[in-house]
Amino acid sequence: MDDLNRRIVGLLLRDGRATFQEIGAAVGLSAPAVKRRVDLMRARGEISGFAAIVDPHALGWDIEAYIEIFCRGNVSPAELQRELGGIPEVVGVATITGDADAIVHVMAASMAGIEESVERIRSTGRVERTRTSVVMSRLIDRPVRPRGGA
Amino acid sequence: MDDLNRRIVGLLLRDGRATFQEIGAAVGLSAPAVKRRVDLMRARGEISGFAAIVDPHALGWDIEAYIEIFCRGNVSPAELQRELGGIPEVVGVATITGDADAIVHVMAASMAGIEESVERIRSTGRVERTRTSVVMSRLIDRPVRPRGGA
DNA sequence: CGTGAAACTTGATGCTT
DNA sequence: AAGCATCAAGTTTCACG
């Protein structure tokens, strides 16, 4: 990816609804040129999509937790993705090194919602044990930025 | 927030560049009605913005990790926020229940970058011990988060 | 890869119900 | 609050350098 694309991505990270014209004016390109670059980046998977950034509180999600999961036998990442992807409260999943097999980030409306999510995760079958850490206060949550400037 | 707004938000979470007309067709509203609702939600902060979803690899972030930190004595959240906020690789911090005091989410260009981040976190003074889990593969990452939580 | 122009689609806004 | 009409603005395709 060249520097021009990095600048375009930087702008789209800050405003995903910026017009191609605006972006073009900012980076010194015409709108069609910007569109072609963005289309290419989407086709290559560098940009996987666009989304609204929503205040979790507005959705009624007042509590969040990290749930480490320990599985029996082998866990296929694809399987985990399929099983957990269907739970809307699950906002993040990653397989990790260390004693746990994966870490799951969930949001919920109440402690009961967290418990329910844990139950659903456990009931997927392969999960042997979970360890839940409820978030007391979120201190930092930044969007990921391009390395070396935007 | 009523049910109609929730449906609109749901569509915008899946496609942040959907047109008002498309959304309107899906929820049974005219395009201007959708726009007015979206404008209101933005004004109220329920939707804090729109962003491109970018592959971290394309941005030069090849590795990520979760670092649990264990502090000696009392940790003030404000202090943690101040200390860790200065590390650009730190994209998320939350104090949690359980044995660890906080969990820190870091992105880096290489394993050396992770190590460096851990070192910087340790050197903030109050941190006694850390436990790092390197992400092997990220399966889900949904951008349901407010912007600028730093 | 880039530009500029043309046809089409959306966005934004005032007015009416 | 929603719909409709309207004009400005952005998108998209294409021929071309």
Task: Tell me, yes or no, if A41 comes closer than 8 A to chain B by beta carbon.
Answer: yes
Is any atom of strand D within 7 angstroms of residue B30's beta carbon?
A: yes
Do A102 and A80 meet the contact criterion of CB atoms below 8 Å apart?
Answer: yes
Tell me, what's the pLDDT at A27? 97
DSSP label at residue B124: T
> The domain B56-134: what is its CATH number?
3.30.70.920
Task: Tell me, yes or no, if B1 comes closer than 8 A to chain A by beta carbon.
Answer: yes
Q: Which two tokens stand for residue B20?
A: 């008002």
Question: Which residues of chain B lie closer than 8 angstroms to A137, CB-CB?
Answer: 77, 94-95
User: Phi/psi of residue A146, each to 5°?
Assistant: -65, 145
Spanning CA of B27 to C1' of D10, the rounded length in angstroms is 24
Q: Residue B122 burial (CB < 10 Å; 0-12/13-18/19+)?
A: middle
Instruction: Kindly report the nearest CA distance between residue B105 and chain A, in angstroms.
Output: 9
Over range A27-41, report the average pLDDT.
97
| pTM for the full predicted model | 0.86
Task: Tell me, yes or no, if A39 comes closer than 8 A to chain B by beta carbon.
Answer: no
**Sequence ranges of chain A with CATH classification 1.10.10:** 3-43
Confidence of residue B145 (pLDDT cuts 50, 70, 90): low
Helix (H, G, I), strand (E, B) or coil at B67: strand
Q: How many residues does chain A have?
A: 150
Which CATH architecture describes the domain A3-43? Orthogonal Bundle (1.10)
The predicted-structure confidence for A74-89, as pLDDT tens digits, reads as follows 778 888 888 888 888 8
Task: Tell me, yes or no, if A96 comes closer than 8 A to chain B by beta carbon.
Answer: yes
Query: Which residues make Cβ contacts (< 8 Å) with residue B72, sequence separation at least 6?
Result: B126, B128
Confidence of residue B150 (pLDDT cuts 50, 70, 90): very low
Tell me, what's the pLDDT at B149? 35
User: Phi/psi of residue B42, each to 5°?
Assistant: -70, -40
A80 phi-psi bin (left φ>0, alpha ψ -120 to 50, beta other): alpha
Outline where DSSP puts E strands in chain A: 47-54, 63-71, 90-96, 102-108, 127-141
Question: How many C-beta atoms surround the C-beta of residue A30 within 10 A?
Answer: 12
**Sequence ranges of chain A with CATH classification 3.30.70.920:** 56-134
The b-or-e profile of B134-147 (16+ CB within 10 A means b, else e) is bbeebbbbbbbbbb
- Considering chain A, what percentage of its residues have pLDDT values greater than 90? 69
Select from B50, B91, B142 the Cβ nearest to the Cβ of A50: B50
Query: Which residues make Cβ contacts (< 8 Å) with residue A13, sequence separation at least 6?
Result: A143, A144, A145, A146, A150, B51, B52, B54
Alpha helices in B16-76 (DSSP H): 20-27, 31-44
The predicted-structure confidence for B103-120, as pLDDT tens digits, reads as follows 999 999 999 999 999 999
Is any atom of strand D within 7 angstroms of residue B32's beta carbon?
A: yes
Mean pLDDT score of chain A: 91
Is any atom of strand D within 7 angstroms of residue B4's beta carbon?
A: yes
Q: Of B103, B115, B144, B147, which to mutate for an interface test with A (greatest number of A Cβ within 10 Å)?
A: B144
Q: With 80 as the cut, is the pLDDT of residue A149 above it? A: no
Percent composition of chain A: helix, strand, coil (DSSP 3-state, to 5)? 40, 30, 30
Task: Tell me, yes or no, if B56 comes closer than 8 A to chain A by beta carbon.
Answer: yes
Spanning CA of A69 to C1' of C6, the rounded length in angstroms is 58
Q: What are the helix and strand counts (H, E) for chain A?
A: 5, 5
Q: Of A37, A117, A139, A147, which to mutate for an interface test with B (greatest number of B Cβ within 10 Å)?
A: A139
